[in-house]
Amino acid sequence: MVMEKTERKIMVAVDESQESMYALSWCLSNLVSDNVNNVKLVLLYVKPSPSVHSLDAPGHIFSSDVISNLEKHGKDLANSVMERAGAICRKLNTTNITMERVVGSGDAKDVICSAVKKLEADTLVMGTHSYGFFKRALLGSVSDHCAKHAKCPVVIVKYP
């Protein structure tokens, strides 16, 4: 019943939203206490797959310039999110934990669940968007999916 593992690996899924930065703050305030030095924090950012298809329809053809611009934008966004997340960690003075930054690419819900399994996370923390019914029905919900399918305890943090 009691868990006796020496290192705890906490994965926080971060994106450009305020909700995910709040989830990170919550995690640092509630799951990582000051005297704990066996925590590894994994910040996971998932870039959407570039929706670039070389189909015959002219609207779907992009020049290599456009593609490299899209890729640059994705990389910039990942860097910017990681920087914001790092700033929150520094602000909450968690110098005694080790940190790892992981950037994945693809469908967020699948990438997050795979990363939990592959990196053997002990806990997954994620924010949630308070979509209304229609938007939720259309978009699905990454946090719903991960709460069901990730192979570890999942913390769903709502932005108040």
Q: Which listed residue (16, 36, 48, 71) binds a copy of itself by CB under 8 A?
A: 36
Q: Using alpha carbons, select from 13, 3, 9, 22 the residue that is nearest to residue 108.
A: 13
Q: What is the CA radius of gyration of the chain?
A: 17
How many residues bind a copy of itself, per CB under 8 A?
31
Q: Does 152 bind a copy of itself (CB under 8 A)?
A: yes
Between 16 and 144, CB nearer to a copy of itself: 144
Between 33 and 69, CB nearer to a copy of itself: 33
Write down the least CB distance from residue 121 to a copy of itself, Å: 12
Q: Does 25 bind a copy of itself (CB under 8 A)?
A: yes
Binding residues among 125-144 for a copy of itself as defined by CB under 8 A: 143-144
Q: Does 57 bind a copy of itself (CB under 8 A)?
A: no
Sequence-distant (6+) residues with CB within 8 A of 40 are 7, 8, 9, 10, 97, 98, 99, 100
Q: Which stretch binds a copy of itself (CB under 8 A): 2-10, 63-71, 97-105, 108-116?
A: 2-10
Binding residues among 69-98 for a copy of itself as defined by CB under 8 A: 88, 91-92
Sequence-distant (6+) residues with CB within 8 A of 146 are 13, 109, 112, 113, 116, 124, 126, 154
Binding site for a copy of itself (CB under 8 A): 1-3, 8, 21-22, 25-26, 29-31, 33-36, 88, 91-92, 123, 143-144, 147-148, 151-158
